Amino acid sequence: MPWLGLGVYKAEDGEEVKTAVKEALRAGYRSIDTAAFYMNEQGVGEAIRESGIPREEIFVTTKVWNDDHGYEETLRAFEKSRQSLGLETIDLYLIHWPVTGKFKETWRALEKLYKDGKVRAIGVSNFLIHHLEELLEDAEIVPAVNQVEYHPLLVQEQLHKYCTEKGIQLEAWSPLTRGRMFDHPFLKELSEKYGKTPAQIILRWDLQKGVVTIPKSITPSRIQSNKDIFDFTLSDGDVKKLDGCNQNQRFGPHPDEFV
């Protein structure tokens, strides 16, 4: 799984999402993150096919939505997503949110999809420690990934530690705080110090924390800029200072309140 990918949340299906995905693939991205809920899987699939890049070089993630939880429901939802994407195999299939009382049956369906070779890896999204503990009580397969809101204002150290101990890769959605942190004094200081944009500083911090990151953009210049994070390294001290910006602040829903 690549450390950097393109998120396509709120990218409109059709030309908008196709243009963003093609631009990202041209820029060197090899990971695209979508979901049934985004309603743009078809455009993502078309862009991948039209890109001319071999399918095996591109890592594709999609997710089962809350309304489709349950064993049979999830199997049907997966087939719908696979048809929309036009792909034989999905690289990573996630439970989008931990719907109380249902996600265990949903996970059982994901395990079947994995065993049947229809997905290369299975994981979860927006799971807190107590959700993971409940899931692992009966799971045959440990989730490969837990995709959560993660940025310097929401560091989630205990969740990160737990996932690391269990061999679950943490992945950051909304890593750039939807731009709300770009004016933070320390981030601006680091931007000047390293000659990088605030976005690049945050994304580099993700990587050095061992967190996969999938910034969303439909703007070609930002897609390119977000990729240019492999030619510098933050000092350990600066990483710790960014950790210290944590305020447990969410810009998306809280997993215990959303479902």
- Residue range 27-38, pLDDT digits in tens: 999 999 999 999
Whole-number percent of the chain with pLDDT over 70: 100
- Catalytic residue check, 114: no
Report if residue 254 sits inside a domain.
Answer: yes
pLDDT of residue 259: 63
The pLDDT of residue 168 is 98
- pLDDT-derived band at 5 (thresholds 50, 70, 90) equals very high
- Average predicted confidence (pLDDT) for the chain: 97
Per-residue DSSP letters for the chain?
--SB-EE-TTPPTTHHHHHHHHHHHHHT--EEE--GGGT-HHHHHHHHHHT-S-GGG-EEEEEE-GGG-SHHHHHHHHHHHHHHHT-S-BSEEEESS--TTTHHHHHHHHHHHHHTTSBS-EEEES--HHHHHHHHTT-SS--SEEEEE-BTTB--HHHHHHHHHHTPEEEEESTTGGGTTTT-HHHHHHHHHHT--HHHHHHHHHHHTT-EE--B---HHHHHHHH--SS----HHHHHHHHTT-----SS--HHHH-
pTM: 0.97
Statement: residue 119 has pLDDT above 70 = yes
Q: Is 114 inside any structural domain?
A: yes
Rounded Cα distance, 199 and 32, in Å: 19
What mean pLDDT do residues 213-237 have?
97
Q: Could you tell me if residue 1 is inside a domain?
A: no
Q: What tens digit of pLDDT does each residue of 56-90 get?
A: 999 999 999 999 999 999 999 999 999 999 999 99
For residue 35, what is the domain's CATH number?
3.20.20.100
User: Is the model's pLDDT at 160 over the cut of 70?
Assistant: yes
* Per-residue model confidence (pLDDT) at position 166: 98
Considering the candidates 38, 71, 162, 194, report the single residue annotated as catalytic: 38
Residue 69: inside a domain, yes or no?
yes
Where in the sequence is the domain holding 60, given as residue range(s)?
6-258
The confidence score (pLDDT) of residue 258 equals 82
Q: Is residue 82 part of a domain?
A: yes
> CB neighbours (10 Å) of residue 116?
9
pLDDT at 16: 98
Q: Let me know if residue 232 belongs to a domain.
A: yes
Q: How many structural domains comprise the chain? A: 1
Q: 31 has which bridge partners?
A: 59
